[in-house]
Amino acid sequence: MPSRKKSSMFGSSFCACVSSLVLVCVVLASPAWVSSQLRFSGAVSNISVSLSYGLFSGTCEQSVEAGLQLGQNTFQVTDALDSASSRNLNIATMVLLVLALLCSLLSSAFTCTNAVSNPYQTFLGPLGVYTWNSVCGVLILLAMILFPVNVQGNGLSEHLARGGCSSPLQTLLGSKHSYGYSYWIMLLILFLNIASLTIIYFYDHATYSKKKEQERPIENAPKDVILF
């Protein structure tokens, strides 16, 4: 059985990993990644388009600048995209988050195992927790970089407006984007991964220091005492 200190430290890390796992699920499922306001030129008057979408689905609301509402409809992000590069980047973001979800699951399993037992394999100990938390953090960071690149640099919102809205749209006159809570939750996931790594690091460092202190009296003892 593990010591009380080990159980409490790995138990705290387990809570952080489980919280990270839940938040990755929320990020994947939520449609509140970004809200975009776009203006397009029309045959008679300019058209304003309001988009709110996530990785899988979104809503589009159109209105003429004179004040007439043209309606609101929902769309599937992948189906609405007519640009291969935007679609590929969106799918890549999904894949990164799914892999981060698997890493969070493995981190939760490793920390739970260490909280209730003393595994013999080295990789099942702190080394495994370091590995999966680090990989999860890197994947989340890449997703946080890739999604804005798709929105700002690749015109994701414009492509979705053209493919997901009911009225035909002409030249884009301007756009403004605001990232929602689903996107910023990924910062909290990063913080939880760092917190889990920090907890295990302090436990591992304290254990290593304790072993060195136990070995020091033998190293400093006189040779005749050691022979005796």
Does residue 21 carry a pLDDT above 90?
yes
For residue 214, the model assigns a pLDDT of: 60
Query: Predicted confidence band at 100 (pLDDT cuts at 50, 70, 90)?
Result: very high
Does residue 212 carry a pLDDT above 70?
no
Contact 189, 96 (CB under 8 A): no
Render pLDDT for 138-168 as a digit per residue (tens, 0 to 9). Answer: 999 999 999 999 999 888 988 888 887 766 7
Taking the C-alpha atoms of residue 45 and residue 194, their distance in angstroms, rounded to an integer, is 51
Percent of the chain with pLDDT over 90: 37
Does residue 216 carry a pLDDT above 70?
no
Domain boundaries in the chain? 4-203
How many CA atoms lie less than 13 Å away from 47 in the CB half-sphere?
24
Q: Where are the alpha helices (DSSP H) in 149-222?
A: 156-164, 181-220
Pick the CATH number of 4-203 from 2.40.160, 3.40.50, 1.10.357, 1.20.140: 1.20.140
Render pLDDT for 58-91 as a digit per residue (tens, 0 to 9). Answer: 988 888 766 666 667 888 888 888 888 889 999 9
pTM for the full predicted model: 0.84
